[in-house]
Structure 1
């Protein structure tokens, strides 16, 4: 990829980056279309979709940062379409990751034995079983969780049948976990599995419909044109001021974050506010999600300038922390949504409440990790300035 130097113009650098991402987009699309329907082909299809999504994000982010150098009407029309495609393709993977995260957390919190309990007569078909119209990739998560909890159950199991062996009141088989959490965790796992697997199946269907839509074909046609010709309007304009503006936007967003509060690894005060009904966690999370989006724009701008997809490791660490923040926040929201299911057993609601609190703790841990990564970056920049 071309780098910014005396021999190349800024238009060459920007064109080379956009054409490279457009080529990656088209290559991933071809691999996705050529993938087979067996297990290996399903995995290849998912990987191709992830690569296509990454390329779409980078093209859209670059159009956003460097739009003054590009044809305004063309860039303004393509950016939202790329965002639509990226968001549509991201949902299936997000639901699968969320389910696995929640099941792992329930297993960790409850200390549930890994030996499957015998099924109770009258159970309906497990989430991980094969059924007409099911997505094999989506059901893989259900099969993995069955090894943890035994046969998952539907809402029919909520009103009858135990999930653990009889234990002394107040404790589980290991003597440390409240028995209500042990019993409720298995039912909570079945409830979450049913809800999130259904959501993932719907997201998979929506992605397939998107691939066959005229809207997607229009996006693919625009990207194919981009792979051969970038509609520049100012080929000699310097890229660095625009990249610096992206960095300034990120710095302003970080300055608005409560980093002093996030500087404590166990932030009970923030957790209390996150659990309060009067102050929704989503309102607290919004500035962090905005910072995550601006951090991505800054990283993509640096990729354009340096020609390196790796970027700054410190920025990568900060980005990973914000990714964990979003995953934990979404998982907490899913647990809260499941707890609002009508007519669930008290033990199930209790387990989901504990799970929600655990994921809000993970949110605070991710904020702390971002705080530490950002401090390292700020200190490194200050040291670089002092040595000049």
Structure 2
């Protein structure tokens, strides 16, 4: 591993060895503990509802949601940094805590994911059908916008038939996703009260004061490891079908959509992997640059496109799953089929936006 040689006369030079990693991990551990304290102070007001009778309850629920989000954010950054810079850390300790942080982040994120998915699907139903019955169920601001060059006019929608089934489709999705969200909320509460979580919190508390670095970490340059994370990202992107993503609509994206096979869409996996690798690259940049990490607008835009891709693909899967519900009316199944197609359009549009963003970055990179 190459060693770092800093110019001692440069007052802006930043240490990029194990000390920088230790400082970053301590800071994220401190954020984790601060969020945990806030979560305990706000308590649990039950699963978030779309309407609150009292402003105090709404404020408490919002604070609890913010605290859970902060817990997830710091847990992701600690786990991601342990993965990227694992040669500098005690192997046994790192391999023990990293999957536990991933478990915690995933568990705390499910409730919000179901909530956002329901809002996204109900808003899409309302947009596609113009149904007042659906609009009465729609809550909050719109989740995302229409894709570049994509409009609902591209879908073969018979608006009259769609409106008939839209209300029942919305009610079915509401029941299914609200139940899933409530279960996710209970699971998160159980996780936060479990001995497993307390063990994780204890390890993070120790991390806030002492980072188990290897003996060679103090003289090891972080930049080659960060460069390797970026290389893994670029390799994964190069394997994506960006030529197909350059078209406004990929008809193959609907082939498996409403089939009896409930497995994830075969085209989505590599894109989800790129999203995770992009996140690891961003975290590695934060470690290198510290609190003054420069904002890379291309990375930011690319990440937004991939988040939008993830949200749309999962929403499409939820619509397809609802369409497989036994004994639903034909009009309901039709509305869910159109909704699924609409969200697969959004998937393709997000891929197209990412392709435009990333190719522009490649062209501008010397």
Band the TM-score falls in, shorter-chain normalisation: 0.7 to 0.9
The equivalent of 1:220 in structure 2 is 201
Please say which of residues 358-367 and 302-311 is displaced more in the overlay: 302-311
Residues 1:238 and 2:217 are matched in the alignment:
no
The equivalent of 1:49 in structure 2 is 68
Query: Shift in Å at residue 270 of structure 1?
Result: 3.5
| Change over 3 Å in CA distance of 1:116–1:332 after alignment to 2 | closer
Equivalent residues in 2 for 1:54-203, closer than 5 Å: 54-113=73-132, 144=139, 177-203=158-184
Contact 2:258 2:337 survives alignment (8 Å): no
State the secondary structure of the residue aligned to 2:235.
helix
State the secondary structure of the residue aligned to 2:213.
coil
Query: Shift in Å at residue 114 of structure 1?
Result: 6.5
The equivalent of 2:328 in structure 1 is 344
Greater Rg by CA: 1
2:253 to 266, 271, 285: 271
Query: Shift in Å at residue 6 of structure 1?
Result: 4.7
Separation in structure 1 between the aligned mates of residue 189 and residue 118 of structure 2, nearest angstrom: 21
Residues 1:30 and 2:14 are matched in the alignment:
no
Contact 1:274 1:360 survives alignment (8 Å): no
Return the TM-score normalized by structure 1: 0.79
Q: Deviations over 1:94-139 (max 9, x none)?
A: 000000000000000001136989xxxxxxxxxxxxxxxxxxxxxx
Separation in structure 2 between the aligned mates of residue 270 and residue 356 of structure 1, nearest angstrom: 14
Residues 1:370 and 2:354 are matched in the alignment:
yes
Q: Deviations over 1:125-176 (max 9, x none)?
A: xxxxxxxxxxxxxxxxx6838xxxxxxxxxxxxxxxxxxxxxxxxxxxxxx9
Please say which of residues 362-371 and 270-279 is displaced more in the overlay: 270-279
Contact 2:24 2:287 survives alignment (8 Å): yes
Ranked by relative contact order (alpha carbons within 8 Å, sequence separation 6 or more), the top structure is: 2
Give runs of ≥4 in structure 1 deviating > 6 Å: 114-117
Separation in structure 2 between the aligned mates of residue 360 and residue 275 of structure 1, nearest angstrom: 9
Separation in structure 1 between the aligned mates of residue 250 and residue 22 of structure 2, nearest angstrom: 49
State the secondary structure of the residue aligned to 2:131.
coil
For the aligned residue pairs, the C-alpha RMSD in angstroms reads 2.1
Contact 2:254 2:341 survives alignment (8 Å): no
| Change over 3 Å in CA distance of 1:35–1:5 after alignment to 2 | farther
Query: Shift in Å at residue 268 of structure 1?
Result: 3.6
Return the TM-score normalized by structure 2: 0.84
Residues 1:18 and 2:25 are matched in the alignment:
yes
| Change over 3 Å in CA distance of 1:27–1:297 after alignment to 2 | same
Contact 2:121 2:315 survives alignment (8 Å): yes
The equivalent of 2:52 in structure 1 is none
The equivalent of 2:282 in structure 1 is 299
In structure 1, runs of 5+ residues without a counterpart are 118-141, 146-175
State the secondary structure of the residue aligned to 1:342.
coil
The equivalent of 2:315 in structure 1 is 331
The equivalent of 1:170 in structure 2 is none
